[in-house]
Structure 1
């Protein structure tokens, strides 16, 4: 197996139905300077967090040593308010970067809301830490370079759970979509930043990030209606999490399934994971929390979910397990199927998408089932969403992330410039 394949991200996870949460204007108690320490940025969540979605809680000027190309920029680590899948206010971390060269293409500088691909579930794996050079287990710095070279600002969320004594809720749609939209709000509050409220917004992500990007697109109108989102690009998308889990189980990439199940355990403690897990399952939980991408892939190489519970439960049996509130694990997961209850602006659908979407995958995709990637695209087309589709990259999963980066940058920047795009459905 090639090293780049071992880096490949896949996705499986779960979330409850998305709560109806709409942010008000930012609170006035934002920091007056970006002097927070790492301990303050990544501090444990308080018992109760107040503030509006996107409120800036703390910031720190930083140098993004793992973004190549020497693009002149100002950059910050940020800690901000978001709302999780259960409607609870939580702190989230991320990175904001703004090129120092003036924006000369008309209007205010646009922002790309970016969600990285899989990095691991422990707090030590945070994308913001890796971009700043704490260590390197990520692979998308060069993708961000292209946006910065185009003059775009970047608001890159770590996603929820990358703080002290927390676990990342892997591929939880509401969590991911909220975090992605809220960091755009945050980016406009940074002392010393110059992003304007009327700046256009594009959404981007691949694999786990692609799942987040489409959830951001689906939630944009209801959760962040004040943001002028003009396009979204999502690749390698695990739109059907059960199909993805079936392919991951027992494979070279079973570590991603382990990430998902442990994330599910922490996000939904009402599910009886502790009663179901055997000693191997308890060790798996420790391994997920202590490893990032490479370590997780190595530890769980070829692992099967049946080996981690006392009764050797299969995936289908786990889906039937009931939580204390009566919902089954399968119902929680089904709530997250992308492309359900969507429609164009004015359709009255639960999730209205009023801007073009670019979806893509590699021809040699070996991690996410083609059935679910193509199925998500087909659902968007059937719903009448303006969708551009490309599946002709001669690449496997990870290298498609790099191979499509130029097309993603062009697609979003054409939307920033107001260019029309015809659906390829």
Structure 2
């Protein structure tokens, strides 16, 4: 999709009202069968005591948003995960398994997948969009590539897509935990045939690319039993401060609006609502009420200074402190990728023992090149086998599709145990 086409689509984006469904969530514990209703899957969160990756509810579904008529079995899932503060939470997503048998040896591998930006309200969840409830998404062709290759797909919606929630957009630990946990969940579906010894690949682009690298960084400590073979991450906003500066006042300021509201959802103790003027309060509702294209349309050219009573700049917001003295700037810096990473033999906080594929488009116009290059450089400096390309002849969105074949081949080679070659 060329930039002009994307902007035309954005201009036509329309808001969707957030549905309110008051349903008591199912009790923690693996269900006897996949008999949950849609309302059960997306019910407002309650207390969750299950272990990370525990299947809380599931239901068979179809995925008309995935093209090419691939024969598959699919389920919507609600599962247990862990938020950035260590609390147990419920997350939604879906699992899809091709009906064609896996013939390449060993157990069928699964790709843990985090989508690119969907929008922040519950109506924008990828599992809803791929099952046909609303179409404002673009990931169907990429999912089809994985399924055609014979891989199962375990796709997380991400944290914050249950009824009454808002997505915690760009919160690294939330994204990484939810992504790893949906891979765990994929093996626990009653009647499913995915095995615990199957290899796992991690993949995502843009927001999903950041989630993919967070999954890669957290895998060894959070989900050491998963046999992660490789991770692919494209269009990665590795440094949110650099990305926010570029987005503010620009054509894609809606992504910045999503991030501000998402960070507030994850850190509600920090100053936020009380800072807003009337335009700011409306902006928060616009984020909640719109999915991707509607949000971009609503915030076209918007500047963050116009939404607070004191016309706070990004730098002034970063300086604000919460009740324990932590600043917004410190919280934003915690989401930076490539910090304290290393190989399994290192003393790094985040140990990565598998190859990583990172990429961007030659004409990337949304994520600053400097932060994508810096994330790649950090992985190389840490000694992690890293494959990098910036040669796709496309802007941000189209690169997601152009790279799909390479991502699938990269993960396929890892599943088959082929040695990876980095190009640091």
Shift of 1:3: 2.4
Shift of 1:348: 1.9
Query: Structure 2 matches for 1:223-372, cutoff 5 A?
Result: 223-372=222-371
Q: Which residue does the alignment assign to 1:3?
A: 5
Q: Is the 8 A contact 1:111 1:202 kept in 2?
A: yes
Q: Which residue does the alignment assign to 2:418?
A: 419
1:162 is paired with a residue whose SS is: coil
TM-score with structure 1 length normalisation? 0.94
Q: Matched residues in 1 for 2:48 and 2:361: separation?
A: 42
Query: Structure 2 matches for 1:111-260, cutoff 5 A?
Result: 111-260=110-259
TM-score with structure 2 length normalisation? 0.94
Q: Matched residues in 2 for 1:412 and 1:6: separation?
A: 34
2:60 is paired with a residue whose SS is: strand
Shift of 1:421: 1.3
Q: Matched residues in 2 for 1:69 and 1:411: separation?
A: 22
Q: Is the 8 A contact 1:7 1:398 kept in 2?
A: no
1:2 is paired with a residue whose SS is: helix
2:255 is paired with a residue whose SS is: helix
1:182 is paired with a residue whose SS is: helix
Distance verdict in 2 for CA 1:417–1:5, change over 3 Å: farther
2:228 is paired with a residue whose SS is: strand
Distance verdict in 2 for CA 1:7–1:407, change over 3 Å: farther
Shift of 1:91: 0.4
Q: Matched residues in 2 for 1:31 and 1:266: separation?
A: 29
Q: Matched residues in 2 for 1:367 and 1:334: separation?
A: 20
> What do the CA deviations read for 1:356-390 (whole angstroms, capped 9, x no partner)?
00000000000000000000000000010000000
Q: Which residue does the alignment assign to 1:21?
A: none
Q: Which residue does the alignment assign to 1:40?
A: 40
Shift of 1:56: 0.2
Distance verdict in 2 for CA 1:341–1:5, change over 3 Å: farther
Q: Matched residues in 2 for 1:237 and 1:278: separation?
A: 32
Q: Is the 8 A contact 2:170 2:263 kept in 1?
A: no
> What do the CA deviations read for 1:280-329 (whole angstroms, capped 9, x no partner)?
11000111101101110111000000000011000011000001111000
Q: Matched residues in 2 for 1:232 and 1:272: separation?
A: 35
Which protein has greater RCO, CA pairs closer than 8 Å, 6+ apart? Answer: 1
Shift of 1:29: 3.4
Q: Which residue does the alignment assign to 1:61?
A: 60
Which shows bigger deviation, 256-265 or 104-113? Answer: 256-265
Distance verdict in 2 for CA 1:133–1:222, change over 3 Å: same
1:406 is paired with a residue whose SS is: helix
Shift of 1:248: 0.4
> What do the CA deviations read for 1:405-425 (whole angstroms, capped 9, x no partner)?
000000000000000011100
Q: Which residue does the alignment assign to 2:392?
A: 393
Q: Matched residues in 2 for 1:263 and 1:185: separation?
A: 25
Q: When the two structures are aligned, how many residues end up with a matched partner? A: 406
Shift of 1:30: 1.1
2:118 is paired with a residue whose SS is: coil
Shift of 1:264: 1.4
Q: Matched residues in 1 for 2:422 and 2:208: separation?
A: 23
Q: Matched residues in 2 for 1:91 and 1:384: separation?
A: 35
Structure 2 residues without counterparts, runs of 5 or longer? 11-26
Distance verdict in 2 for CA 1:165–1:107, change over 3 Å: same
Shift of 1:33: 1.1
Q: Matched residues in 1 for 2:162 and 2:5: separation?
A: 29
Shift of 1:7: 7.0
> What do the CA deviations read for 1:82-102 (whole angstroms, capped 9, x no partner)?
000011111000010001111
> What do the CA deviations read for 1:87-123 (whole angstroms, capped 9, x no partner)?
1111000010001111110000000000000010000
Root mean square deviation, CA, Å: 1.3
> What do the CA deviations read for 1:248-301 (whole angstroms, capped 9, x no partner)?
000111011111111112211111112211111100011110110111011100
Which shows bigger deviation, 30-39 or 381-390? Answer: 30-39
Shift of 1:206: 0.2
Distance verdict in 2 for CA 1:421–1:195, change over 3 Å: same
Shift of 1:207: 0.2
Q: Which residue does the alignment assign to 1:384?
A: 383
